[in-house]
Amino acid sequence: MRVYIDASVFGGFFDEEFAETSRLFFDAIFDECIIALISDILVAELVSAPQKVRELLDRISEISFERLEYNVEAVNLQRAYLKAEVLPSKCEGDLLHVAYVTLARADVIASWNFRHLVNPAKQRAFNGVNLVNGYGLITVMTPLEVIKILGENDDE
């Protein structure tokens, strides 16, 4: 499973409420049950994060992962999301994350951002813009949902 990791999941690793599940999620990455997708914008966001969060990102860079690099097509899709008012302009980073995921055809975005990403209405809005512009659909799940799917696949 190719999974884009949102910045909230890195923070969740150290957050009391989300730590247990986030750690299971990252264990699946380190065990290479999940192929992590990391974008340039995510790396840029985490540069100013606490040291322990940056170290977690460094651990991922030691294993196999896909790097999603800045490109004009992603910026154009981000602008389409802005024009459609999927999220307010102050959330340009989240919009760019989704654009990267869309272009990479990731299986899932893993996020603890319930307001902007793990939100069925927002997912429908993103997918509406994607379809109008000739792109595929995105799926956003919590790390818990991703872990459950991995467990179900192990049973088969």
Instruction: Provide the domain count of the chain.
Output: 1
pTM of the full structure: 0.91
Q: Which of 5, 12, 124 is nearest to 65 (CA)?
A: 5
Identify the domain containing residue 70 by its residue range. 2-155
Digit-by-digit pLDDT tens for the chain (156 residues) are 999 999 999 999 999 999 999 999 999 999 999 999 999 999 999 999 999 999 999 999 888 899 999 899 999 999 999 999 999 999 999 999 999 999 999 999 999 999 999 999 999 999 999 999 999 999 999 999 999 999 876 655
- Read off the amino acid at residue 149: I
> What is the CATH number for 148?
3.40.50.1010
DSSP 39: E
